Amino acid sequence: MARLPAGPWAVLGPLLWGCALALHGGMLYPRESASRERRELNGLWKFRADFSENRRRGFEQQWYRTPLRESGPTLDMPVPSSFNDVGQDERLRSFVGWVWYEREVTLPQRWTQDLGTRVVLRIGSAHYYAIVWVNGVHVTEHEGGHLPFEVDISKLVQTGPLSTCRITIAINNTLTPHTLPPGTIVYKTDTSKYPQGYFVQETNFDFFNYAGLHRPVLLYTTPTIYIDDITVTTDVDQNTGLVYYQIYIQGGKDFQLEVHLLDEEGQVVAQEVGSQGQLKVPDAHLWWPYLMHEHPAYLYSLEVRLTAQTAAGSVSDFYTLPVGIRTVAVTKNQFLINGKPFYFHGVNKHEDADVRGKGFDWPLLVKDFNLLLWLGANSFRTSHYPYAEEVMQLCDKYGIVVIDESPGVGIVLTQSYNNQSLQHHLEVMEELVRRDKNHPAVVMWSVANEPASFLKPAGYYFKTLIAHTKALDPTRPVTYVTNSNCEGDLGAPYVDVICLNSYYSWYHDPGHLEVIPLQLDTQLENWHRTYQKPVIQSEYGADTIAGFHHDPPLMFTEEYQKTLLEQYHLVLDQKRKDYVVGELIWNFADFMTNQSPQRVMGNKKGIFTRQRQPKHAAFLLRDRYWKLANETGYHQAALKLQCLRKSPFTL
């Protein structure tokens, strides 16, 4: 997947996006401007879980038609958060079925009386299936727990003197073989062991299936003729940055568009008119990853101004999109950013924390980014689902490179490869690309993690899925993360980069650290010899209980985790000179899982605890990652940034 030269790309750039994106409507992040307002609905919502035997009492009694308090008792539930760990009712901890949220909102008078204002309800994430009513009227439904959805509610809030509206959201966290991620409901029918109707949710992934309204819910406004979507791609021709844009308008056809590109000082560096075009930026500042340049993560601002004439007069809409000018390319043994070899030295993460579960939390997010910068990490994978939009924005801002992964984790059942599953997976990739296509930090899409890619239908499934993703976005490579062997992996021929998970001396030959170098060397050599593609060690690690020590190293001690990583690094240091282009530790921090005899309060493979305190391995990786940054040829930038963080554990 070599980068196209600037000449042909000048023609193909806008055409490719125009053909590829056949998505219905945009999903621009709601930003305030001279023409747009936003109001977050975070805080306490009324909440009730439907504990009835069939979990459908709420629909049978139509709880959405009247305030939730009128149909029975409610709890206060913070939004955003998972509902599982907030209360003291043990039934909620592992509840499967429908839960109900409600919030009454007082709207500004101009929103309810100005018919030239469009009012939109946006839900950042509702895990897993959501149905939404406004004032008792059904307005939308959405499947999938990790991506935003929205609906125009103008007609419902502009129909009379009411200044309030009641928002009701029913959410079902049940997973089936055809959801992403998949799961199965297993009924325990032995009445000598289980009560009548007893069932459990079984999954094939190793993190807790937290549920609820995990990300912000908000209302925002636009004019009735408005900027619906913007697609930006970039290239570089010698010292000139090329920014291709395409703008989509809804609500009318008679309009004018002005486009300005501003630098970080607010100076206009390029401008155009019309819904699509090319902006040329002489002596452009490129978007570079953290530690790869003295001034990483340079962001321009694309300011779009829409002007239209309506029967009511002139209408304007304004939207500003951050833009990073950078290129991405892949050869058989390199991953290139702006034409320079890039080595991923980073982490895998989870959206996971005490009490809040997967709920979005700004203090936690900023703490995590401070730890990433201290660590010298330049990248992470959004294992194993899309993260909050605000996470992606910080990656753009700080230069943290992202492998953006879909929730395709645990695809191990044959029935999860049928047409129904494939169709849903295609739709999820459309939603993911639509949301994250303009983030310069996103350099590669991952369509799945550890699927049973040796099953016969997996070849067609991943060939179709990867081809679809490349059609949606021809500018980025596509991969999935595998733990299969290279001979039997039927989807590997279609990826651009090989991403390998391995746990030598942990799940394989546990306790035998001495076998790691031979086994890892054999694995890496086999994969590269077979496919002649760059390789990322996308997961490796060991469970470690903070404060457990033993010498010689024993499993679960901090010494064992440290020694295991060192054995991996011996081989990776050899192979990164040839075709290994990255290493991502599993995991950044400990996280919650289902209860099992193998998990003591969750997965403990983090180099930080769940409370973000360091284990010994964090210091080992910090030394390694800063050393890797200093060896890349951009050592002056790395040294300068390291000096700003020279205290051994000061952020």
Given a contact cutoff of 8 angstroms between Cβ atoms, the answer to whether 318 and 305 are in contact is yes
Write the DSSP assignment of 75-112 as a string of letters. Answer: EEEEESS-STTTSS-HHHHT--SEEEEEEEEEPPHHHH
- Residue 98 and residue 95: Cα distance in Å, rounded? 9
Identify the band that residue 649 occupies on the pLDDT scale cut at 50, 70 and 90: very low
All residues at 6 or more sequence positions from 327 whose CB lies less than 8 Å from its CB, including other chains = 3, 234, 235, 236, 336, 337, 338, 339
Backbone angles phi, psi at 572, to 5 degrees: -60, -35
Report the range of poorest mean pLDDT among 22-26, 577-581, 598-602.
22-26
| Residue 495 pLDDT exceeds 90 | yes
Catalytic-residue membership of 264 = no
Q: Strands 313-323 and 300-310: what pairing?
A: antiparallel
Q: What is the mean pLDDT of residues 394-401?
A: 98
Strand, coil or helix: 6:
helix
Q: Which of 281, 287, 286 is nearest to 268 (CA)?
A: 281
**255 with 306: CB under 8 angstroms?**
yes
Catalytic, out of 150, 389, 405, 450? 450
Q: What was the pLDDT predicted at 365?
A: 97
Is residue 117 pLDDT above 80, yes or no?
yes
pLDDT value of residue 76 = 97
Q: How confident is the model at residue 651 (pLDDT cuts 50, 70, 90)?
A: very low
* pLDDT (mean) for 530-554: 97
Percent of the chain scored above 70 by pLDDT? Answer: 94
Is the pLDDT reported for residue 292 higher than 90? Answer: yes
pLDDT bin (cut points 50, 70, 90) of residue 163 is confident
Dihedral, 605, 610, 612, 616 alpha carbons, nearest 10: -30
More confident residue, 164 or 336: 336
Instruction: Convert the pLDDT of each residue in 266-285 to its tens digit.
Output: 999 999 999 999 999 999 99
- 638 exposed, middle or buried (CB, 10 Å; 0-12, 13-18, 19+)? buried
- Mean pLDDT, the chain, as a whole number? 93
Length of the chain in terms of residues written? 651
Share of the chain above pLDDT 90, in %: 89
Residue 195: per-residue pLDDT:
93
Q: What is the pLDDT confidence band of residue 642, given thresholds at 50, 70 and 90?
A: low
pLDDT at residue number 311: 80
Q: What confidence score (pLDDT) does residue 289 get? A: 98
First to last CA, the chain: 39
Q: In what order do the strands lie in the sheet with 43-49?
A: 75-79, 43-49, 98-106, 164-172, 129-134, 137-143
Closest CA to 79 of 95, 103, 113, 55: 103
User: What mean pLDDT is predicted for residues 372-380?
Assistant: 98
Least confident of 203-207, 521-525, 529-533: 203-207
At 15 the pLDDT is: 39
Q: What is the pLDDT of residues 591-634, one digit of tens each?
A: 999 888 889 889 999 999 999 999 999 999 999 999 999 987 56
What integer pLDDT is reported at residue 640 of this predicted model?
A: 59
pLDDT value for 433: 98
Give the model's confidence band at 159: pLDDT under 50 very low, under 70 low, under 90 confident, else very high: confident
Q: Where are the beta strands (DSSP E) in 289-400?
A: 300-310, 313-323, 328-330, 335-337, 340-341, 344-348, 379-381
Whether 443 has a pLDDT exceeding 70, the answer reads yes
pLDDT at 302: 98
Query: Does the pLDDT value for residue 299 go beyond 90?
Result: yes
pLDDT confidence of 19, banded at 50, 70, 90? very low
- Mean pLDDT throughout 182-190? 94
CB contact at 8 A, 328 and 477: yes
